[in-house]
Amino acid sequence: MQKLLIKGKKRLSGIISISGSKNASLPILASTILTSKKIFLKNVPMLKDVETMLSLLKSLGSKISISKKKNEVIVLNNKKLKTFASYNLLKTMRAGVLVLGPLLAKFYKAKVSLPGGCAIGSRPVDIHLNALKKMGAIIKIKDGYIFAKAPKGLIGAKIVFPKISVGATENILIAACFAKGKTIMKNCACEPEIKDLSNFLIKCGCKIRWTGKRSIEVAGINELQSTTYKIIFDRIEAGTYAIAAALTGGKVIIKNINPNIIKTELNVLKKMGVKIKKDNNQIQIINNNNLKKIDLITSPYPGFPTDLQAQMMVLMCKSKGTSTIKENIFENRFMHVSELKRIGADIKIEGNKATIYGGVSFNGAELMATDLRASVSLVLAGLVASKTTIINRIYHLDRGYEKLESKLSKCGAHIKRLKNG
């Protein structure tokens, strides 16, 4: 199993180019099931989760051409795909359940494994299934699989999600494009990745209209047209590197982004004393190591993202005073805390609230990654730790960060991957 070795106390300085969004790529790729026309996608990040989704589409019968060097993917589906998505492909990635909606909408049936992925809470698929039932689907769960059928096809309905769910919004949005009549969706997630998905589907000819911040109307159609589409930037990757620059007292330009999309995150950094210069498609992060304490609550977009909670916790450890984080999205998302404590963090957990006592010094140690965002928080801690930090189980990192070691090394970090042994 591969590891990362980091020698800390290196100030980051340089330029980091942000990759395409994993969380936009996955639903967009799943939605290509709806069409038998050629889809040309640009700015696709070559990550483990994306590779898994592409393997899943191939297993269903999609013809896929990949250019890793250009970050491009061409999808060409046969008119008849298989409707079985196996556990072997979905066990490492929760987003695999996003093929359920399009398979059911186009072929009137689907057998899809219950999803796997990060161990950060239940993330139940009930919200997806109940919405599909309202659209006429007959669903049962047996032996770890979702068996779904809609003998007459899906029918437009009014869907009011009981809670905001990114995955459910995506699944139903895709399915509604082929449902008969109009689908009205309320209490939807409105993350930029969902807007990117809807923009892609609109470019393919779908009739989608955002009627409010969390309301969508979809008029069903019969076929998607061929298109070329560029995936949005990865705002979580951008936020992670912005935090890394602030943490190391660095001076880093982060480019290929839209600063307006991450203004919540940037405002939090500003409140902590970080200087930020904004341009059209880039920002510059400058920090003099005089970080202030802050209290944070994670919430759905446009609130502060749960996917940056672990990284922010590391920054809080180096700030002056006592900070707090209230995690409102997922339970079990403080699993990185025990590892951070091993290198010197002073953090107290009470339910979904973390109290972080700042001003600590990190001392390098051997650490274990537990999930995608937790693993990158350990990398950030290693960047400012004295001595050497070794991080195990870095396959989590490869699910969400493209060329992480290369991007950090170019900015002066001493980080390298150790092969097995």
Active centre residues (catalytic): 118
Write out the DSSP string of 116-158.
---SSS---SHHHHHHHHHTT-EEEEETTEEEEE-TT--B--E
Q: Classify strands 366-368 and 84-85 as parallel, antiparallel or unpaired.
A: unpaired
Write out the DSSP string of 181-209.
SEEEEES----HHHHHHHHHHHHTT-EEE
Using CB atoms within 10 A of its CB, is residue 361 exposed (0-12), middle (13-18) or buried (19+)? exposed
CA angle 344, 348, 350 (to 5 degrees): 155
Nearest in space to 98 (alpha carbons), one of 34, 41, 142, 37: 34
Write out the DSSP string of 231-249.
PPB-HHHHHHHHHHHHHTT
Residues 85-99 as b or e (16 or more Cβ within 10 Å = b): beeebbbbbbbbbbb
Nearest in space to 241 (alpha carbons), one of 376, 421, 414, 94: 376
Helices (H), 225-298: 235-247, 263-271
Q: How many CB atoms lie within 10 A of CB 358?
A: 19
Give the C-alpha separation, 77 to 245, whole Å. Answer: 43
List phi, psi (to 5°) of 276.
-130, 125
Using CB atoms within 10 A of its CB, is residue 211 exposed (0-12), middle (13-18) or buried (19+)? exposed
Give the C-alpha separation, 134 to 158, whole Å. Answer: 8
Question: Which one-letter amino acid corresponds to residue 11?
Answer: R
